[in-house]
Amino acid sequence: MNITPMEAIFNVLNETALILQEELSCTYLEALAETGENLFHGEIVQEEISELNKKRLKKKYEEINLSSFTEEQIRKAYQLAILKGMKDNVQANHQMTPDTIGLVMSYLIKRFTEQIKTFSILDPAVGTGNLLMTIMNQLEDNVISAYGIEIDDILIKLAYIGANLQSQPVQLYNQDSLEHLFIDPVDVVVSDLPVGYYPNDSGASNYQLKSDKGHSYAHHLFIEQSINYTKPGGYLFFLIPNGLFESEEAPKLHKFLAEQVHIQGVIQLPLSIFKNPNAAKSILILQKKDDSVKAPKQVLIANLPTLSNQHAMETMLAKLDKWFRENKE
């Protein structure tokens, strides 16, 4: 039976991760990072593995040659293995941005940066790196300097391994994204915003969007921090909860955005891609103010249809083209 390239890679990742999980007495996700390390280096780097399992691992690794696969085939197989691990070890902060969203984000970034072939991009909540890798793989004609920040040790190791397997140059930092960052401002920020409260009230006190009472909204602080690390005239693409501008802190957020950025667009994503309609999200597109840029004549407001609805998608793309002609050219 013929299997797809993605299935071939996944089978090797999965079966070797299971061997390492048992040998190292660790979680599946930790074992997946270990097996990814082996594939990248072309050797088994864990010295404590039994000789029998070393032979089993080597035999499995010989079934594939990563250089014969595309970056997207590797990303999708790796993503599938991560999703399997997340089902076994569910944590609130261990979630992955769906592929559909990554592809839409990639298209929007490409349209808004058409005049720039070389640019820098930051994901301040990079997680496993799936969103950032999707964008980099889709924008392969551009020269991109990429940065990712993640506080979770396991997630950033998975991001690091994924970037290596896909041969994508990304600088990753394991730190709290709301503290001082060791990077220069970038041309583009992209983020699936972490929604919730930021527990560090002392750290939050440095932000204009801090709450006047109790813990501050982490997603508000992430927006402010991202704007701080965006070059004047640079773009920001946020995946936001649909109720972002309906909370009691919303007036403060409105005022801050009006001072700092031009809102370029809000694109509501189809409910069908979310398991829970209450968790539905939109893409918020911002441009940091600068003397050289003007606000759009009209903010782009759109409801994205399901990608499988070809006629509706063609209508939507025509609407986007018209907006770009009238507002960005």
Residue numbers of the chain with a pLDDT score lower than 50: 92-94
pLDDT recorded at residue 1: 61
DSSP conformation letters of 25-55: T--HHHHHHHHHHHHHHTS---TTS-HHHHH
CATH number of the structural domain 5-88: 1.10.150.470
CATH number assigned to the domain with residue range 99-327, chosen from the 4 options 3.50.50.100, 3.30.70.940, 3.40.50.150, 3.10.105.10: 3.40.50.150
Q: Which residues contact 144 (CB under 8 A, 6 or more apart)?
A: 118, 119, 120, 121, 136
pLDDT recorded at residue 177: 97
pLDDT recorded at residue 212: 87
pLDDT recorded at residue 63: 92
Write out pLDDT tens, residues 237-288: 999 999 898 888 899 999 999 999 999 999 999 888 877 777 889 999 999 9
pLDDT recorded at residue 276: 79
Query: Using an 8 Å Cβ cutoff, are 226 and 147 in contact?
Result: no
Residue 239: name the closest of 89, 109, 86, 92 by CA: 109
Residue boundaries of the structural domains of the chain: 5-88, 99-327
Q: Report which secondary-structure segment, H or E, holds 14.
A: helix 5-24
DSSP conformation letters of 182-219: SS--EEEEEEEPPPSEES-HHHHTTSTT--SSSSEEHH
Length of the chain: 329
Q: How many C-beta neighbours within 10 Å does residue 242 have?
A: 17
Q: What Cα–Cα distance (Å) separates residue 214 from each residue in 108, 178, 225?
A: 36, 17, 20
Write out pLDDT tens, residues 200-242: 999 999 999 999 888 999 999 999 999 999 999 999 999 999 9
